Amino acid sequence: MRHALFFAAMLAACVVAEAPAQQSFPIPVYPGATLQIENDSDATCCDFVTTDPFEKVVAFYEKELKKKPMDLDQLSAAYPFVAKNIALMKQHMPPNTMYRGFVMQETGEGAQKMPVTFELIGTPQGVNFSISDDALVGKDALIAREWRQKTGHTTEADREMIETQKTDSANAVEEAKEAQTEAADQKVRAARRAKEEPEYRAAATAELVKFLAEKKVKLPTGLQCETASRVVGDQTSWFELTFTSANDFKTVCDFFAAQSTKHNVEKQDGMSTCTFVFPSYPFDQSFDIIVSEVSKTKGGPKKTNVQVRVGDSKAFGTLWAIEQRYEANW
């Protein structure tokens, strides 16, 4: 392998003569190619080898670089100024060695024009090529950093990047721990809520019953509280409790109609809603009750919901305090 790379380096020097050593154009690394690490203080980045067929590698770079490759005879014909050197190199080429060069730029003028090439050297052991670190861009730039780290050529920028990566890694670990702790805490809170929410709804319902009793209004028996929550509107706020009833819509409506001086019935999509307004209306100062028919699917079985909205400041404050007491644990 070292022999092949040494030959490639000599060939490159011969072909480009005094052309700039660095490649100032981006060149991708052939997929799956192996980075060669040499413990040599004079080594430069970066040498690669792949065991894929030579023509397959050539085709890859022809597509990526959008250039036609040249063999040594074609290079000699295109650049007479280096033809003698190329002929000399051909004489020293090991058996079964293949060459293709991609002319990336040219230097010199007229009869002294010389190519700056990216070369592929094919040997029985594999296809060898070199890409300078300034030509490794995007994700391939990490390869150059890897080479510098393994060969002791790290730069100040590399060291800063390493420290940044260490810090980012430590932060990521800490964030993962915090997320894990938060998830565990949320799980505990969710379990606590599932256990305590029925107790909370019962406490809110008991306070509502006390408030309604003061207004000489009763709730029908058999109601099951489904939700109890605070609602904040644009101009006013109220506390809202929603119940389900085992009785049909008409039975529940008749129950509240006997206690209310005013109510309104609406029907939409085959479902009825009845709003009961009590003497201390508007509800933002007191309360109202809405009885609704509800069905999960169109034409499906109906159930009856009873929604009580309380805006009375005293009752609202008491219900809110109950909510806060429980939600502090959730």
| Tens digit of each residue's pLDDT (9 = 90 or more) over 222-240 | 999 999 999 988 888 899 9
Domain boundary residue, one of 126, 154, 182? 154
Residue 200 pLDDT class (50, 70, 90 cuts): very high
pTM of the predicted protein model: 0.51
Task: Check residues 310 and 12 and name the one with the higher pLDDT.
Answer: 310
pLDDT of residue 150: 87
Q: Quick check: 22 pLDDT over 60?
A: no
Task: Check residues 32 and 110 and name the one with the higher pLDDT.
Answer: 32
Residue from 308, 131, 101, 68 nearest 210 by CA:
308
Residue 41 pLDDT class (50, 70, 90 cuts): low
Tell me the mean pLDDT in the region 55-59: 98
Is residue 127 domain-shared with residue 62, that is, in the same domain?
yes
pLDDT of residue 280: 54
Residue from 48, 87, 54 nearest 69 by CA:
54
Tokens describing residue 102: 């991609």
Is residue 115 domain-shared with residue 229, that is, in the same domain?
no
- For all residues of the chain together, what is the average pLDDT? 87
Bridge partners (DSSP) of residue 116 are: 105
Tell me the mean pLDDT in the region 209-218: 92
Q: Residue 45 falls within a domain, yes or no?
A: yes
Other beta carbons within 10 angstroms of residue 223's beta carbon come to 20
Domain boundary residue, one of 102, 128, 154? 154
Q: Is residue 320 a contact partner of residue 239, using CB atoms and an 8 Å limit?
A: yes
Residue 205 pLDDT class (50, 70, 90 cuts): very high
Tell me the mean pLDDT in the region 128-150: 90
Q: Which of 200-209, 232-241, 277-286, 305-314 has the lowest mean pLDDT?
A: 277-286
Is residue 144 domain-shared with residue 220, that is, in the same domain?
no
Residue 21 pLDDT class (50, 70, 90 cuts): very low
Range of the domain at 229: 194-327
Give the amino acid at 71.
D
Q: Quick check: 5 pLDDT over 90?
A: no
Q: Residue 25 falls within a domain, yes or no?
A: yes
CA atoms within 13 A on the CB side of 313: 0
Residue 24 pLDDT class (50, 70, 90 cuts): low
Q: Quick check: 171 pLDDT over 70?
A: yes
Q: Quick check: 261 pLDDT over 60?
A: yes
Q: Quick check: 201 pLDDT over 80?
A: yes
Is residue 133 domain-shared with residue 222, that is, in the same domain?
no
SS3 189: helix
279 phi, psi to nearest 5 deg? -55, -30
Q: Is residue 120 a contact partner of residue 99, using CB atoms and an 8 Å limit?
A: yes
Length of the chain: 330
Q: Which helix (H) or strand (E) holds 8?
A: helix 2-16
How many H-runs (helices) and E-runs (strands) does the chain carry? Answer: 8, 11
Task: Check residues 10 and 109 and name the one with the higher pLDDT.
Answer: 109
Q: Residue 166 falls within a domain, yes or no?
A: no
Q: Residue 180 falls within a domain, yes or no?
A: no
Q: What is the Cα–Cα distance from 31 to 33, expressed in whole angstroms?
A: 6
Q: Residue 173 falls within a domain, yes or no?
A: no
Cα radius of gyration rounded to whole Å, the chain: 41
Q: Quick check: 13 pLDDT over 60?
A: no
Q: Which of 3-12, 78-87, 148-157 has the highest mean pLDDT?
A: 78-87
Is residue 131 domain-shared with residue 70, that is, in the same domain?
yes
Number of compact structural domains in the chain: 2
Give the amino acid at 291.
V
Domain boundary residue, one of 125, 154, 183? 154
SS3 215: coil
Is residue 150 domain-shared with residue 232, that is, in the same domain?
no
Q: Is residue 228 a contact partner of residue 240, using CB atoms and an 8 Å limit?
A: yes
Q: What is the Cα–Cα distance from 266 to 159, expressed in whole angstroms?
A: 74
Q: Quick check: 169 pLDDT over 60?
A: yes
Q: Report CA-CA distances (Å) from 1 to 6, 31, 76, 274.
A: 9, 19, 26, 89
Q: Quick check: 285 pLDDT over 60?
A: no
Q: ∠ CA 142-105-147 to the nearest 5 degrees?
A: 20
